[in-house]
A and B are shown apart, each in its own frame.
Chain A
Amino acid sequence: MNDPKHFEERGRVLAELNGVRKRYGNVTALDALDLEVRSGELLALLGPNGAGKSTAIALLLGLAQPDAGRATLLGRPPLEVASRREIGVMMQEVTLAPELRVCELVELAASYYPNPLSVHEALAVSGTTPLGARPYGKLSGGQKRQAQFAIAICGRPKLLFLDEPTVGLDVQARETMWSTIRALIGQGCSIVLTTHYLEEAEALADRVCVLAGGRLIASGSVDEIRSTVSRKQIRCATSVSTESARQWPEVLKATRDARHLHLTAVDAETTVRHLLAADPALRDLEVRQAGLAEAFAELTKEAA
């Protein structure tokens, strides 16, 4: 962080897709997609299954070629080995050699890079030091993901691709990985994250791109994405029934649990007026902006 270069470079485009199309047989995986990853940011790619997230990453990594348009990685075609020396990758569905110890797998991956962390450093940074001497085949699913994380960061990448990194991790391991990810961003690393866990994007992302049907349907900060959906969640302890709440035009959804009435509404102020008029004894009122989960559900529903 003391290096002024990091500040100069902040916001520079590190990887991009320009008007990229990709078809697999009759299926259009990506349709005229433009995507930019900028220096110093954590970009979260969100989308339902089959939205094109993995295809977009495969094109950026040079694992697949676009049918039209252009993919660029660190200013070069992704197929060049030189451009990949500044990236780290954590993929889904990879089986690493089960006979090798985690430290050996890290040693191998580190040998591909010009100036990597030492094995000891890579394990320490990724919080996997206790796994170092264990054979990969003997690890649990979550531990395998942690070992793959160590492999992803061992080359001191400028740009890190993490495809569903925390699948199978317990809460503590996930928190550790999240804080490492934040610390790496602090060290000037940029990250592309795909995830199904919206709270992961909410916790980490500077910018979110939502894909659906191979197109970019929304892009912006977590707050911006949230605000594209003008919904409010209202909760209160009241005698008003769900049936009567549903009569109000601005209420989209009404449910009730043992203590509270839960409403989803487009206009919080009007709903609250209605509520107070119907039940002056209402208590425990809470109004909040819809979360990323609601925004995501709404956006992808519109796109479908």
Chain B
Amino acid sequence: MNAVATTPTFSPELARFGATARARMSATRTVRAYLVEAKLEFVRAMRAPIFVVPFLLLPVLLYMLFGIVMSGASGGAPRGVANAFFAGFATFAVIGPALFSVGCGIAIERDQGLLRLKRALPAPPGSYLVGKVLMQLAFAALATGLLATAALLGANLTLPAGQVWTLVGVLVIGTIPFCAMGLFIGTHVSGVAAPGITHLIYFPMLYLSGLFFPLPKVLARWAPVWPTFHLNRLALAAAGGIHLTAAQVWISVTTLIAITALCGTRALLKLARRG
């Protein structure tokens, strides 16, 4: 110990430390806290290729294989099917990351004590969750944007480009209910259990909602129980690919909002109680 000189550099920065701190947070600073959280969530995701590669590239590559190359080889899909196929893959591209990165991410970070630290620090209530959701929206925009570009270049969609982008917009906003489901899972199970539980919901939700191929009648009757079904048909309808009655639109929108509210409030309550 005696070999080490303890001559800390009493930096001029230290003088700023003792200046009287204010306990009141301005609105600008609160908004900033949310934005920094979201920005860094995005930076983190982009620096973890293990997250980016499967969730960003897999839907595009699968879509290019099935939606463009293979359907092109079989003489082109019939009118309208190409649109539905694109919408199905685009829905697939947004819900996977929303469920997995939000759900498993929160579960793991809870196990790691990060949420406990954030609660001890004066993090604005909800900034952590809102940050995760905003990052997911940005990610969804990127994933569907890539997919739309591939579709516009390669597939024989009957939708004009403007409507393809409308579809993308609806899907990006429609990521929110799936983020809420992820929040619910992430706040209720451990980091070890989260991937398994998420798979248990994710796969049935993908296939049984008829995203990729028409379902047999007996299954098709039950497709509306899956939120993916509602998001998919809203997106397709907004783009003009199918026609929905006002009642159908109302049912789908209400279902998605109800899922968001239910899962979101349960998650927030759980976090507020235990972290």
Contact = CB atoms under 8 A, between A and B. Distances in A.
A286 B8 CA distance: 33
By size class, the interface of chain A is 35 or more
Interface stretch (A172-180, A207-215, A220-228, A296-304): A172-180
Contact of B40 (A108, A112, A153): A108
B33 A124 contact: no
Contacts of B13: 117, 120-122, 124-125
Interface in A27-76: 61-63
Interface residues on B, range: 35 or more
B contact face: mostly helix, strand, loop, or mixed: loop
Contacts of B15: 187
Interface in B14-42: 14-26, 29, 32-33, 36-37, 40
Given A111-B36, A175-B4, A125 B17 contact: yes
B114 interface: yes
A157 B14 contact: no
B189 interface: no
A30 to B, nearest CB: 18
A89 B117 contact: yes
Contacts of B125: 81
B18 A62 contact: no
Nearest to B131: A108
Contacts of A85: 21, 23, 25, 122
Contacts of A124: 11, 13-14
Interface stretch (B43-51, B164-172, B243-251): B43-51
B8 A179 contact: yes
Contact of B18 (A88, A91, A187): A187
Interface string B173-212: 0000000000000000000000000000000000000000
Contacts of B48: 99
Interface string B210-221: 000000000000
Contact of B17 (A87, A151, A189): A189
B105 to A, nearest CB: 10
B109 to A, nearest CB: 8
A221 to B, nearest CB: 22
A95 interface: yes
B161 to A, nearest CB: 35
Interface of B: 1, 4, 6, 8-11, 13-26, 29, 32-33, 36-37, 40, 43-44, 47-48, 109, 112-114, 116-117, 119-125, 127, 275
Given A62-B119, A91-B113, 18 more contacts: A3-B18, A81-B122, A82-B122, A85-B23, A89-B120, A94-B114, A97-B114, A107-B40, A111-B37, A112-B124, A121-B11, A125-B17, A155-B21, A155-B122, A175-B1, A183-B8, A183-B10, A189-B17
